[in-house]
Amino acid sequence: EDQVTQSPEALRLQEGESSSLNCSYTVSGLRGLFWYRQDPGKGPEFLFTLYSAGEEKEKERLKATLTKKESFLHITAPKPEDSATYLCAVFYSGGSNYKLTFGKGTLLTVNP
Amino acid sequence: DAGITQSPRHKVTETGTPVTLRCHQTENHRYMYWYRQDPGHGLRLIHYSYGVKDTDKGEVSDGYSVSRSKTEDFLLTLESATSSQTSVYFCAISASGREELFFGEGSRLTVL
C-alpha cells in the first residue's frame, strides 16, 4: 500500500495559470518532507525541506506547505521553464530505523 | 551543485554479464545511496552506505551488491545482469542520513 501519494499524476497549465500539486502521506513519525524537481534525463534537484505542520518555504514561483497529512506545492504564475516532474519524499521513523519513501511524481507541463 | 559524478552515464549490456556502476562524491558526506527509477514506480532504494565498509540493504536489493572502500566512492555491482535490471540508477548522498539527499545525474542501464 502506497504510503506517499502524489496527485495529479500529470498537470498541464497555461503560462501564468497558478495551481497546486499534492503530496499526501499515511506514515507516522514524520521527520521531514522533501520536494524535488526532476528534468528529463537528469537527477532530482532538491527544492525544499518541511519539518512540521504549518511550515512554509518559498523559492521564486514555488511555495511548499505542510499539514499533518499532506503537503502542497503551489506554483504561482508558472512559466514554461517550470515544466518538470515534481517529486515528494517523506522521511519518517519506521520502527528502529529511519525510512525515506518517494512518491511517483507529478509531471507538470506549462504551455506558452 | 553537489559534487556527485556517476559513471558510466549510459551502458548497454547482455543478460548474464557483470556490470559495475560507480558513484564519486567530493562533498565528504558520510551517507551514500543507490536508487533505481522505473516508470510507474517512485525512486526505490537498492543499497546504502553509512560509512567506509558499512553498507545495508534497501527495499530492492536482490541481484545487487555494493562496496565502499573510500569515503568518496560507492560502487554498485550487478553480478549477472538480467532484463529486469534495465533501469535508470541514481546515486545520492547526505551528510548525516537524516536530511535531504542530493542526487547524481543518473546512469541509464539497458540489459538485452
Chain B residue at shortest CA distance from A5: B42
Distance from CA of B33 to the nearest CA of A (A): 11
Instruction: Tell me which residue in B41, B90, B100 faces A34 most closely, judged by beta carbons.
Output: B100
Residues 6 or more apart in contact with residue B50 via CB below 8 angstroms:
B30, B31, B56, B97
CA–CA gap between residue A25 and residue A66 (Å, rounded): 11
Whether the per-residue pLDDT at B112 is higher than 80: the answer is yes
Write out pLDDT tens, residues B80-92. 999 999 999 999 9
Residue A97: band (very low, low, confident or very high) from pLDDT cuts 50, 70, 90: confident
Q: Indicate yes or no: CB of A42 within 8 angstroms of CB of B99.
A: no
Classified as helix, coil or strand, B1 is: coil
Chain B residue at shortest CA distance from A47: B100
DSSP for B44-77 reads EEEEEEEETTEEEE-TT-TTEEEEEEETTEEEEE
Q: What is the mean pLDDT of residues B28-48?
A: 95
